[in-house]
Homo-oligomer: A and B are copies of this chain.
Amino acid sequence: METIYIQEVVTRDGLQMEDQFVPTEEKIDLINRLSAAGVDKIEATSFVSPKAIPNLRDAEDVMLGIDRKPDITYTALIPNVKGAERAAACKVDEVNLVVSASESHNQKNVRKSVDESFSGFTDITRFLAGTGIRINGSLATSFGCPFEGTIAENRVLGLIDKYLELGADGITLADTTGMATPKQVFQLCGKVLDHWPDLPLTLHFHNTRGMGLANVVEGIRAGVTRFDASLGGLGGCPFAPGATGNICTEDLVHMLIFMGYHVKTDFDQLIATAKHLETILGHDVPGQVIKAGKITDLHPV
């Protein structure tokens, strides 16, 4: 049985979009529940400016407050050396760098050109050298940019190369606004894994236009085994009010289990955690299996 690795991003990508600040102790408890359910990686928080993302202003308290399991990678998004210092002080296992494949999206997102972002990453990798902290390089808008449209495959390959030259240990291709199609995923991931067969490659999909799980299936067919997902399908897209966000962790795990893949995550604990998330937030989440039950939940005649 092929193993697929589940990487949870709800406390970073999900909670940063919520209207209300989730109390620090609730975040810590949520991450502990996810650790107990047995995901492979947790992007716990983001060491950005509290002014930029007030919802994640408790990054240190969250990172230092959680119970860490040795077989789970605890990662955090960092934008600069200051973020790297804060993350390192909390002894994260990994930092996640993000630059957009599209110039206009990177300008809009972090007010830097792509080159300026990579120049900043050089300072970060210099700071982290020798700390043992791994570096993951994420490419936002890899499958399309909401301002520019199509992103050339060669541009994505070139930016992966830049990350690897910097010493990145893994790469994430992110479909930031849900523009990837299954065919495109199969083609682009096939090319990436042709160039770098041993690259730890993650796919980060949003379900904005309903294609999220179809994109996962085609990613697996191309050889990818690592997927980001958000509990309850939390998250969203600033360009599409009402649209769903990240692919939903429990829907993803449900599909993979019933397709016969090995997934470390305990599905029932995951669903219970998603229901707990609804009580924390005080609203329903977009996930579907939480409403429909798993396919083996039979009904009396």
Contact = CB atoms under 8 A, between A and B. Distances in A.
Interface in A175-200: 178-179, 181-184
Main secondary structure of the interface of A (DSSP, over half): loop
A240 B293 contact: yes
Contacts of A182: 213-214, 217, 255, 259
Given A214-B217, A292-B178, A301 B107 contact: yes
A144 interface: yes
A144 to B, nearest CB: 6
A209 interface: yes
A210 B248 contact: yes
A298 B105 CA distance: 12
**How many A residues touch the partner, as a band?**
35 or more
A146 to B, nearest CB: 5
Contacts of A183: 259-260
Which of A104, A147, A182, A251 counts the most B-chain CB atoms under 10 A from its CB? Answer: A182
Contact of A301 (B144, B147, B284, B296): B147
Interface string A127-153: 000000000000000001011110000
A144 B295 contact: yes
A210 B243 contact: no
Interface string A153-182: 000000000000000000000000011011
A207 interface: yes
A291 interface: yes
17 contacts: A104-B301, A146-B299, A147-B299, A149-B298, A178-B292, A182-B217, A182-B255, A183-B260, A207-B210, A210-B212, A210-B287, A213-B214, A214-B255, A237-B292, A239-B299, A243-B288, A244-B288
Interface of A: 104, 107-108, 144, 146-149, 178-179, 181-184, 207-214, 216-218, 237, 239-244, 248, 251, 254-255, 258-260, 284, 287-289, 291-296, 298-301
9 A-B pairs closest in CB distance: A240-B292, A214-B214, A243-B292, A210-B251, A210-B288, A183-B259, A179-B295, A242-B291, A213-B214
